Amino acid sequence: MTGVNEERTLLAELKFQLVSVLWELKFRRLVRALKANFNPAQPRDEHGRWTDENRRKIARGEGINDSRIISDATPDGWILGAEYAAADGHHFVPRGVFGKEKYGFTSEVLEIFKKETTGQLKDPTSNRYDTMHREYNDAVEEALDRFMKNNSIGRGQMTPDEARSFASEIRRSDEPRIRQFNRRVYMREIMRSLRYFRGRE
């Protein structure tokens, strides 16, 4: 009976954390919308689309493929289907970061970063290349630049030990964009596992 109570307590804690993350994401979307001069009182049709001038702009094709609109932007290094690549799991140092030419990493360092993953994911949707993942990549790249600068590592000079050390820093990072994305991956895996085990009872 104690095991069931512990599982219920854990599940309640996980649900609370998930709700906290969801509310934080909603808040971030609201802040971004306000920064983009979003007007909730702006006239919209029954499908939520802008009316009046904005509808005419869309009809004329204005605003389409506008890289300032995140849904229209194609990220550098984007590969069709890569967002669902769950076989390797979540790379703590993303391929989109360690594969950049500016670093010139040796093949040994590249192999270390390729292997620094969560392992295969049961829920491949947790590692989609969405806005949160793009923010994660940006944060990891910033951290990598700092790490290399602080350790006086030039282009192509990172050692395998330094690569392992950096990957470990990312795993344990308290930087919000990194922590939240890693937490999302783990939370979805935990929830998926709990659903699986509950289904077997």
More confident position, 175 or 126:
175
pLDDT, averaged across the chain: 75
pLDDT tens-digit readout, 81-119: 444 444 578 889 998 999 999 999 999 999 999 999 888
Q: Are residues 62 and 47 in the same domain?
A: yes
Q: What does 101-131 look like in DSSP terms, one character per residue?
A: TTT---HHHHHHHHH-B--S-S-GGGG--SH
Evaluate the CA torsion angle 58, 62, 66, 72 in order and state its sign: positive
Q: List, as own/partner pairs, every contact residues 4-10 make where C-beta atoms lie below 8 angstroms and the sequence separation is at least 24, other chains included.
A: 7/194
Q: Are residues 60 and 10 in the same domain?
A: no
Greatest mean pLDDT among 46-55, 118-127, 190-199 lies in: 118-127
Q: Are residues 66 and 85 in the same domain?
A: no
Q: Are residues 66 and 103 in the same domain?
A: no
Q: Are residues 87 and 22 in the same domain?
A: no
Token output for 158:
């990172």
C-alpha atoms less than 13 angstroms from C-alpha of 32 in its C-beta half-sphere:
10
CA–CA distance, 79 with 15 (Å, rounded to integer): 33
Q: Are residues 95 and 191 in the same domain?
A: yes
Please tell me the predicted confidence (pLDDT) of residue 122. Answer: 75
Please tell me the predicted confidence (pLDDT) of residue 69. Answer: 41
Q: Are residues 32 and 48 in the same domain?
A: no
Q: Are residues 129 and 107 in the same domain?
A: yes
Domain containing residue 26: 1-38
Q: Are residues 85 and 33 in the same domain?
A: no
Does this model's pTM top 0.95? My answer is: no
